[in-house]
C-alpha cells in the first residue's frame, strides 16, 4: 500500500497541545520526534555506548515535529485537507511505500569479505565466488551486527587467529548473532549468546538457521549479565574456551573481573567496541583481572583486544 507521510513542525512548548489537537481530530499513530527526548535518552543510557554518530547528532539538532500517516488515496487527500483546515497550517507531505521502510537500507549492504577466511553475504543477495572463503549468511534486521562496522570486523579477524575446532564460545552482547555464527562456521563446537535487547534471540536464531545451524549448537538468551547473578553463576559452572564481547568500554570494564571465572584454563577473551581515548582504561581493567593481553588491533577510532586467561595448575 502507498501512504502519505505527514510532518507537522512545531516547538517543544507546543508539542503536547498539538498532539492533543491531532488526536481530537481522529489522528492516531502519532510519531513525536523531539531533540530534547533524544538527548535525555542518550544522557540516561551512557553505559551502553561511548560514541554517538555526528551525523545523527546533526540530524536531530533543533528537531521538534510530529509525524503521522494517511492512506495515499482520494480519501487520504480529503482527510489531510480536513486536518490542515482545522489546524490552520499546511503540513509537509511525502509519498512513501511499505517496501520503502523495509527494504531501502538493503541496497547499501553487499557481500563483504572479512579477514582471510570469511565472506558475509546478505540473505537477499546471491553469493558471489567465495575464493575459498567460508560464507556467512546474515539478515541483521534492526539489530547491530552486519559485519561492516570496524569493531565487528576486528573481532572476526581475531577469531581467525584462534583455534576454534571443537571449542565452546560465549558471545556477550551477541546482537544479530554474527560473531557466534562465525565461530561455529570456523569450527567451534557450541556457542552461547546473550544480549540485553529482547529482540536479539529471535534475530540471532533466524540468522543461525540461514547458515544451517540449529539450537543444539547455538543458544541465545536476553539478559543483563552484569546484574544477573544466576546467569553469572551458570557461566562460571559451564566454563568456555573463548569469550567474545563487542560492546562498549564501560561494559567491558565491568565484565573483566567476571570473565576470568568463566574462561577455561588458558582460554581466550576477545573484546571490541572500545572508542579511541578509552583503551587505556580497558587495558588496565583487563590486566587487573589477571588477563594477559596478546594483541591489540585498531581500525579508524576503535580498539580491539585479544587476551588469554591465567593458566592455572590443575
Examine the domain organization and report whether 153 and 302 are in the same domain.
Answer: yes
Among 48, 79, 104, give the residue marking a domain's end.
104
Examine the domain organization and report whether 180 and 61 are in the same domain.
Answer: no
Asked if residue 127 is part of any domain, the answer here is no
Assign residue 147 a region (left: φ > 0; alpha: ψ between -120 and 50; beta: otherwise): left
31-34: long-range contacts, CB 8 A cutoff, minimum separation 24: 31/66, 31/67, 31/68, 32/65, 32/66, 33/60, 33/63, 33/64, 33/65, 33/66, 33/67, 34/63, 34/64, 34/65
Asked if residue 38 is part of any domain, the answer here is yes
CA distances 52 to 59, 248, 301, Å, are 12, 12, 12
Distance CA 267, CA 124 (A): 36
Q: What's residue 314's pLDDT?
A: 47
Here the CATH number for the domain that contains residue 150 is 3.40.50.150
Sequence-separated (6 or more) residues with CB below 8 Å from residue 21: 86, 87
| 268-130-211 Cα angle (round to 5) | 60
**DSSP string covering the chain, please?**
-EEEEEEEE--GGGHHHHHHHHHHTT--S-EEEEHHHHHHHHHHTGGG-S---HHHHHHTTT-EEEEEEEESSHHHHHHHHHHHHHHTS--EEEEEEHHHHHHGGGGG---EEETTTEEEEETTSPPPP-TTPEEEEE--TTSS--S-SHHHHHHHHHHHTS--TT-EEEEET-TTSHHHHHHHHTT-SEEEEEESSTTHHHHHHHHHHHTT--TTTEEEEE--TTT-HHHHHHHHHH-EEEEEEES-HHHHHHHHHHHHHHEEEEEEEEEEEEETT-HHHHHHHHHHTTPEEEEEEEETTEEEEEEEPPPPP-
The grid coordinates of residue 280 equal: 587505556
Residue-number span of the structural domain to which 285 is assigned? 145-308
Asked whether the beta carbons of 133 and 113 are under 8 A apart, the reply is yes
Examine the domain organization and report whether 181 and 300 are in the same domain.
Answer: yes
Examine the domain organization and report whether 158 and 90 are in the same domain.
Answer: no
Among 81, 104, 127, give the residue marking a domain's end.
104
Asked if residue 224 is part of any domain, the answer here is yes
The grid coordinates of residue 284 equal: 588496565
Examine the domain organization and report whether 224 and 291 are in the same domain.
Answer: yes
Asked if residue 129 is part of any domain, the answer here is no
Examine the domain organization and report whether 223 and 149 are in the same domain.
Answer: yes
Examine the domain organization and report whether 182 and 46 are in the same domain.
Answer: no
Examine the domain organization and report whether 159 and 59 are in the same domain.
Answer: no
Domains held by the chain: number: 2
Asked if residue 171 is part of any domain, the answer here is yes
Here the CATH number for the domain that contains residue 94 is 3.30.70
Asked if residue 255 is part of any domain, the answer here is yes
Q: What's residue 190's pLDDT?
A: 97
CA distances 278 to 43, 203, 216, 225, 247, Å, are 18, 30, 38, 22, 13
Examine the domain organization and report whether 159 and 251 are in the same domain.
Answer: yes
Tens digit of each residue's pLDDT, the chain (314 residues): 688 999 999 988 888 899 989 999 999 888 888 887 767 666 665 555 555 566 666 766 778 999 999 999 999 999 999 999 999 989 999 988 765 555 555 555 677 888 888 888 887 777 777 678 888 988 866 555 666 788 999 999 999 989 999 999 999 999 989 999 999 999 999 999 999 989 899 999 999 999 999 999 999 999 999 999 999 999 999 999 999 999 999 999 999 999 999 999 989 999 999 999 999 999 999 999 999 999 999 998 899 999 998 765 44
* pTM, rounded to two decimals: 0.70
Examine the domain organization and report whether 73 and 200 are in the same domain.
Answer: no
The b-or-e profile of 142-152 (16+ CB within 10 A means b, else e) is ebbbbbebbbb
Asked if residue 121 is part of any domain, the answer here is no
Q: What's residue 63's pLDDT?
A: 83
Asked if residue 45 is part of any domain, the answer here is yes
Q: Closest Cα to residue 15, out of 65, 83, 71?
A: 65
Pairing of strands 190-195, 134-138: unpaired
Examine the domain organization and report whether 153 and 87 are in the same domain.
Answer: no
Examine the domain organization and report whether 64 and 165 are in the same domain.
Answer: no
Amino acid at each position: 500500500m502507498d501512504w502519505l507521510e505527514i510532518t507537522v513542525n512545531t516547538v517543544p512548548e507546543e508539542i503536547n497541545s498539538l498532539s492533543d489537537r491531532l488526536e481530537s481530530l481522529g489522528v492516531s499513530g502519532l510519531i513525536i520526534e523531539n531533540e530534547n527526548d533524544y538527548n535525555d535518552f542518550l544522557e540516561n543510557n551512557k553505559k551502553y555506548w561511548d560514541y554517538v554518530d555526528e551525523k545523527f547528532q546533526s540530524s536531530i539538532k533543533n528537531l521538534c515535529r510530529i509525524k503521522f500517516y494517511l492512506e495515499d488515496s482520494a480519501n487520504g487527500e480529503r482527510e489531510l485537507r480536513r486536518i490542515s483546515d482545522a489546524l490552520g497550517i499546511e503540513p509537509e507531505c511525502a509519498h512513501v511505500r511499505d517496501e520503502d521502510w523495509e527494504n531501502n537500507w538493503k541496497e547499501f549492504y553487499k557481500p563483504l569479505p572479512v579477514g582471510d577466511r570469511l565472506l558475509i553475504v546478505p540473505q537477499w543477495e546471491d553469493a558471489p565466488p567465495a575464493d575459498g572463503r567460508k560464507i556467512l549468511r546474515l539478515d541483521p534486521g534492526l539489530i547491530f551486527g552486519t559485519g561492516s562496522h570496524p569493531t565487528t570486523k576486528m573481532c572476526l579477524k581475531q577469531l581467525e587467529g584462534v583455534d576454534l575446532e571443537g571449542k565452546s564460545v560465549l558471545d556477550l552482547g551477541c546482537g544479530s548473532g554474527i560473531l557466534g555464527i562465525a565461530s561455529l562456521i570456523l569450527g567451534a563446537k557450541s556457542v552461547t549468546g546473550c544480549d540485553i535487547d529482547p529482540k536479539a534471540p529471535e534475530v540471532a536464531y533466524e540468522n543461525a538457521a540461514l547458515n544451517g545451524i540449529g539450537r543444539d549448537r547455538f543458544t541465545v538468551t536476553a539478559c543483563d549479565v552484569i546484574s544477573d547473578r544466576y546467569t553469572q553463576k551458570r557461566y562460571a559452572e559451564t566454563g568456555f574456551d573463548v569469550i567474545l564481547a563487542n560492546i562498549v568500554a564501560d561494559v567491558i570494564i565491568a565484565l573483566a573481573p567476571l570473565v576470568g571465572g568463566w574462561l577455561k584454563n588458558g582460554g581466550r577473551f576477545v573484546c571490541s567496541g572500545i572508542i579511541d581515548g578509552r583503551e587505556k582504561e580497558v587495558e588496565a581493567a583487563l590486566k587487573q583481572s589477571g588477563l594477559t593481553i596478546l594483541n591489540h588491533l585498531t581500525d579508524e577510532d576503535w580498539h580491539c583486544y585479544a587476551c588469554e586467561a591465567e593458566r592455572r595448575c590443575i
